Every structure is written in C-alpha cells, then in structure tokens.
C-alpha cells in the first residue's frame, strides 16, 4: 500500500504541514523511522525522536508545538491513537488472505460451513459443527463436535475448540488458544488419591471478543464459562471453569482467575494478577499488575494494588513507608539504646 501525505490528511481529516506529495508505504516506530514510512507522536516522552527520525510523515496532535526544526511532513489530528489504529488496520489489510477450503483440511460431512468461509491446511472440523459466514480459519485448527461459530470469526493457527462450545460473531482467537479444556476438578479420596470430576459444561463466548495467544478458557463443570461481549484477553491468561468475565473487561498477560469467580463489566486487570475462586469483582474495578485478589470487591469504580490487594491510594502511601523501614529501624534502635542508657543511670 502506497499513499501520499495529501491522501492521508484527507483520510484522517487532519491538517498538513510540509510536502503534500511525499509517499509512504508503511508505518514505523518513531525511533526507527526510515524514509518512505509513517510514524507518530502520542506520548511526550518520545518527543526527542521527532527531531531525529528519518520517517517521511509524522502524525501529531493538534496541540503539539515543536521546539526544533522537523524534517518530516506533519499531519496534525485530533486523536493520534485513533488515527494510528485506523491506519494499522488499513496497512494490515494488505496481507494476503487465504480463500476457500483446503484439500488438506478434514471437514465432516455433517458439518455446516457458511458462505465465504475459508479453512486452511490440516484443519479438522468435527461432526455437527456449525461455522458461520466469512470466517477465516487458518491451518492446523481443531473444531470439535457440535461446536457453533458465528460470522466473521478468525481462528489463527493452532487454535483448539473442544466439543459443544459456542462462539458469537466478530471474534478473533490467536494462535494456540484453547477453548473448552476440562476444568481443574478432582475429588480427594480417603487413600490420598484424587478422582477426576467430569466436566460436562461448555464455554460460551459472545460477540466482539479477542483472545491472545496461548490463553486457555476451561469448560464449566456444569453450565457454562462465560466470556461476555467485547472482552479483550491478552496472551497467556488462564480462565478456570464456571468463571464469568463481564462485558468490555480487559485483562493483561499471565493473569489467572480461579473457578466460579465473576468479573464485572468494564474492568481493567493488569498482568500477572491472581484472583481466587468463588468471589465477585464489581463493575469498573481496576487492578494493578501483580496484585492478588483474595476476597469479593463489592463497590464499583475502585482501584486495587498489592498482594493481598488493598486500596490503590493506600498501597502507594504504604510503599513510601516501606521504603523507609531500614531508616526507621535504625532510629528505633538508637532510641532504644538511649532509653536503656537513661534507665541504667537511674
């Protein structure tokens, strides 16, 4: 894809400063920008790269005021991140998409495949599976018996969807996502061994969900594990059996959520967070990375930090004290010494 600064400016409804005829063919990071590429400035921390980048076009905010000359053509826009997202989508659409059903794929005769859906090499679509329209299923995907998949779904290589799970529309599952593996259910026996508890539920994923690589969502023991509309999950996340993730909640990498916990709507959960089972997290809760949640959070619109987690503001105050503990301990030792000397003199 090649596009001029003039065309980009019209597309983004921006204001152009510089050469309107300069041509770019792709994006670049601002610190690595090369001629013929487009870069952007959205974070003031990166402003110093603006004056040294070799990129041909720079996207910047309407309020950006340079302090040195800039060689790149500038396009000023109201929302830099929104414009970058739009452009990345357009540049990404240039990647060649597969079409049709590969002769090396296995599709059971009882499966239903919607119009415009493509299926890659060595993919398996099992009995009674139903796949909607305009889906893209890459090579080496497994779709189990009686699975239902909606329209405009993308399954990247290595995705595994176990039997009876249900996916809505406009979903993206990245490589090696596993949907519907058994929940971690084992009953202790008198002899110290464990007997497996059958996991006979499923996973239900609603519309507009995206799940990152190597994330696992376990099937319910009974009923369903729910991933509600608009949820975004990062790579390497573990969602246990009978969990419910509320609408438009986002969760970063390496977070683990134990069984039967319910996460509210529009929550933001950082990386490496651990959440125990059988609790509830209120709507719009924010949890800082590496926190441990061990009890129900009842009040919405709160922020938490630490393990076990406490109020975010209280944690920051406590951190200030924690860093001074060696100094405080030294002062306490000195005071104890003075008290001891005073008592000796008496």
Residues 226 and 128 in one domain: yes
Query: 244: domain CATH number?
Result: 2.160.10.10
Residues 51 and 165 in one domain: no
**What's the domain range around 252?**
106-314
Q: Which of 92, 125, 141 is the last residue of a domain?
A: 92
- pTM (2 d.p.): 0.82
Residues 296 and 197 in one domain: yes
Q: Which residues contact 141 (CB under 8 A, 6 or more apart)?
A: 119, 120, 123, 124, 155, 156, 157, 158, 159, 160, 161
Residues 142 and 209 in one domain: yes
91-106 in b/e form (b: 16+ CB < 10 A) is beeeeeeeeebbeebe
Counting the structural domains of the chain, the total is 2
Residues 53 and 179 in one domain: no
Average pLDDT over every residue of 128-156: 97
Residues 149 and 202 in one domain: yes
Residues 287 and 178 in one domain: yes
Q: Which of 29, 64, 92 is the last residue of a domain?
A: 92
Q: Which of 60, 92, 124 is the last residue of a domain?
A: 92
Element (H, E) at 280: strand 280-281
Residues 294 and 163 in one domain: yes
Residues 82 and 123 in one domain: no
> Is residue 319 in some structural domain?
no
Average pLDDT over every residue of 233-254: 98
> Is residue 176 in some structural domain?
yes
> Is residue 203 in some structural domain?
yes
Residues 121 and 233 in one domain: yes
> Is residue 192 in some structural domain?
yes
Instruction: Report the pLDDT value the prediction gives residue 96, as an integer from 0 to 100.
Output: 61
Residues 160 and 128 in one domain: yes
> Is residue 328 in some structural domain?
no
Distance (Å, whole) CA 64 – CA 133: 44
> Is residue 165 in some structural domain?
yes
What tens digit of pLDDT does each residue of 305-319 get?
999 999 999 999 988
> Is residue 329 in some structural domain?
no
What percent of the chain has pLDDT above 70?
A: 98
Instruction: Report the pLDDT value the prediction gives residue 342, as an integer from 0 to 100.
Output: 79
Helix/strand/coil for 20: coil
Whether 30 shows a pLDDT value over 70: the answer reads: yes
Which residues does the annotation mark as catalytic? 241
Mode of pairing for the β-strands spanning 232-233 and 210-211: parallel
> Is residue 97 in some structural domain?
no
Contact (Cβ atoms closer than 8 angstroms) between residue 68 and residue 52: no
- Return the sign of the alpha-carbon dihedral for residues 168, 88, 213, 236: negative
Residues 17 and 123 in one domain: no
Band of the pLDDT at 322, cuts 50, 70, 90? confident
Q: Which residues contact 254 (CB under 8 A, 6 or more apart)?
A: 236, 237, 271, 272
Instruction: Report the pLDDT value the prediction gives residue 88, as an integer from 0 to 100.
Output: 85
């Amino acid at each position: 894809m090649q596009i001029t600064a003039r065309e980009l400016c019209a597309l983004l409804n921006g204001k152009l400063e510089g050469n309107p005829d300069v041509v770019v063919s792709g994006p670049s990071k601002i610190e690595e920008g090369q001629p013929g590429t487009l870069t952007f400035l959205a974070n003031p921390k990166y402003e110093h790269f603006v004056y040294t980048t070799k990129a041909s076009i720079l996207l910047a905010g309407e309020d950006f005021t340079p302090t040195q000359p800039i060689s790149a053509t500038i396009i000023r826009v109201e929302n830099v991140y929104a414009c970058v997202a739009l452009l990345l989508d357009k540049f990404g659409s240039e990647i060649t998409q597969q079409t049709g059903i590969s002769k090396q794929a296995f599709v059971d005769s009882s499966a239903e495949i919607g119009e415009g859906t493509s299926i890659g090499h060595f993919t398996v679509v099992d009995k009674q599976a139903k796949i909607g329209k305009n889906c893209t299923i890459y090579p080496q995907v497994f779709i189990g018996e009686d699975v239902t998949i909606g329209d405009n779904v993308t399954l990247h290589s290595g995705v595994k969807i176990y039997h009876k799970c249900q996916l809505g529309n406009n979903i993206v599952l990245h490589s090696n996502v596993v949907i519907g593996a058994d929940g971690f259910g084992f009953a202790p026996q008198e002899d110290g061994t464990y007997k497996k508890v059958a996991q006979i539920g499923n996973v239900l994923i609603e519309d507009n969900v995206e799940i990152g690589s190597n994330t696992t969502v376990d099937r319910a023991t009974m009923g369903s594990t729910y991933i509600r509309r608009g949820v975004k999950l990062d790579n390497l996340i573990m969602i246990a059996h009978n969990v419910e993730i509320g609408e438009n909640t986002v969760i970063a990498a390496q977070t683990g959520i134990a069984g039967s916990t319910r996460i509210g709507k529009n929550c933001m959960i950082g990386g490496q967070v651990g959440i125990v089972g059988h609790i509830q997290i209120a709507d719009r809760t924010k949890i800082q990375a590496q926190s441990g949640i061990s009890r129900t959070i009842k009040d919405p619109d709160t922020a938490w930090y630490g393990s076990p987690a406490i109020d975010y503001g209280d944690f920051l105050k406590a951190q200030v004290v924690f860093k001074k503990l060696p100094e405080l301990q030294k002062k306490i030792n000195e005071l104890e010494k003075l008290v001891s000397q005073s008592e000796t003199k008496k």
